Amino acid sequence: MAYSFIHNGTLIDGTGNKPIKDAVILIKNNIIEYVGPEDLLSIPDSPITKIDANGGFILPGFIDTHLHLMTNGFHMEDTMYNPLSLFFYNGVENMRLTLDAGVTTVRDAGLADYGVKTAVEKGLIAGPRMQITVSPLSITGGHFDFWLKSGFDMKISYPGYPDSICDGKDDVRRKVREVMRAGAEVIKVMATGGVMSANDSPEHPQFSMGELKVIVEEAGTRGLKTMAHAHGAEGIKNAVMAGIDSVEHGTYLDEEAIQMILEKGAYLIPTLITQKYNKLMAETGSMEDYRVEDAMRIADIHKENIKKAYKAGVAMVMGTDSGVIEHGVNLQELGLLCEIGMTPIEAIMSGTKIAAECMGWQDKIGTLEAGKLADVVVSKKNPLFNINSIGNPDNIEVVMKDGNILKDIREL
């Protein structure tokens, strides 16, 4: 039995409650036993490790519900020139950057497999807690079909990572079963084309309503949630009508789609930071030619439509699509969420409490409350005063996951 004690900080617990000055967190092994004012805590008569927050701000470990730990830019030519093993070693560094940014849990939206998740759980490598999709489902010629017009197929292929292409109800059902067999904990489907695609555009709907319903139904046989990459309005509506749990990106949301999301109680993961970075790369000439037009065209449209969804009351969740953009800048998304109307506390909740609910893990993570896992970060600066400060990894002084300190840069 091991106790640790975080003190001398202001608590922002992720629930939306008012911050508490001079707060403490008492942790037994990896579980939070007490959270609140220090003067109400009875210190156990046992050896205890004290962690001084140095007057900083104590928050829950953040949750990124949409990223790709194993990729660095989705440059398709990498699969032709780089050995497969490099793919995994790059992932180790990406996981370190993610932790250093203050993100202790992720929903990997494609390419992290069961072996990567297991290596983290066994402590062989340091990484965030994972919920994995393994292989996102795509139609032939769709957003995750890497067959080029030249005749080359640029996909990654190895045992444990099923091919993601499927067409027709029977093929779709079989493919869902294959990715579940491979260890998927959430089923991801490409309901539209994408910005990164060589063969389609973001507006293009993909998968029929019948196919989407089969995906949701088959995932439900194991109690799994579903998520849909969806830019175009028609594809968003198809996914929501089929019962998808979360809509990723939502670029061309219209009023009808917004109302459908509200009625169905789905979540929206806008990934604002990726549209911002994609536009910047397009403007600076650091993006492949076939991506530039889409990246330039949709960034401003996306932001305006996400504003409308927020004002309508859609539940929004922090996700970044890191892996398409660089790793380690995850919490910059919080500042962008504030630009579309959120308050700093709402933005923080989108990356903690609401994110945990989206993943179905609200009983164990997302807020600093007794009985939950000890995932804690300490920010040097006050994110409620300057939300953009938390997007700088150097401002994240302590990162604790499951009761273990994985980053500590305090000046003691």
Can you give the residue ranges of every domain in the chain? 3-60+366-408, 62-359
Alpha-carbon 186 to chain mean position:
12
Find the largest Cα–Cα distance for the chain: 70
Pairing status of strand 267-269 against strand 315-316: parallel
Please tell me the distance from the alpha carbon of residue 215 to that of residue 172, in angstroms, as a whole number: 7
> Would the pLDDT of 274 be above 60?
yes
Q: In one letter, which amino acid is 319? A: G
Same fold, 3-60+366-408 and 62-359: no
Residues identified as active-site: 188, 321
> Would the pLDDT of 79 be above 60?
yes
Q: Which of 255-259, 296-300, 330-334 has the lowest mean pLDDT?
A: 296-300
DSSP character at residue 61: P
Q: For residue 148, give the nearest of 98, 80, 95 by alpha carbon.
A: 80
pLDDT at 152: 56
Please tell me the distance from the alpha carbon of residue 306 to that of residue 317, in angstroms, as a whole number: 12
91-105, 156-170, 288-302: range with highest mean pLDDT: 91-105
Please tell me the distance from the alpha carbon of residue 208 to that of residue 189, in angstroms, as a whole number: 12
pLDDT tens, residue by residue, 149-185: 676 556 777 888 999 999 999 999 999 999 999 999 9
pLDDT at 292: 62
Asked whether the beta carbons of 172 and 214 are under 8 A apart, the reply is yes
What is the crossing angle of helices 289-312 and 255-264, to 10°?
Answer: 60
Q: Which CATH number fits domain 62-359: 3.50.30.60, 3.20.20.80, 3.20.20.140, 3.40.50.2300?
A: 3.20.20.140
> Would the pLDDT of 48 be above 80?
yes
Confidence of residue 46 (pLDDT cuts 50, 70, 90): confident
| Topology (CATH) of 3-60+366-408 | Urease, subunit C; domain 1 (2.30.40)
pTM over 0.75: yes
Say which residue the tokens 């000439």 belong to. 285
pLDDT at 270: 97
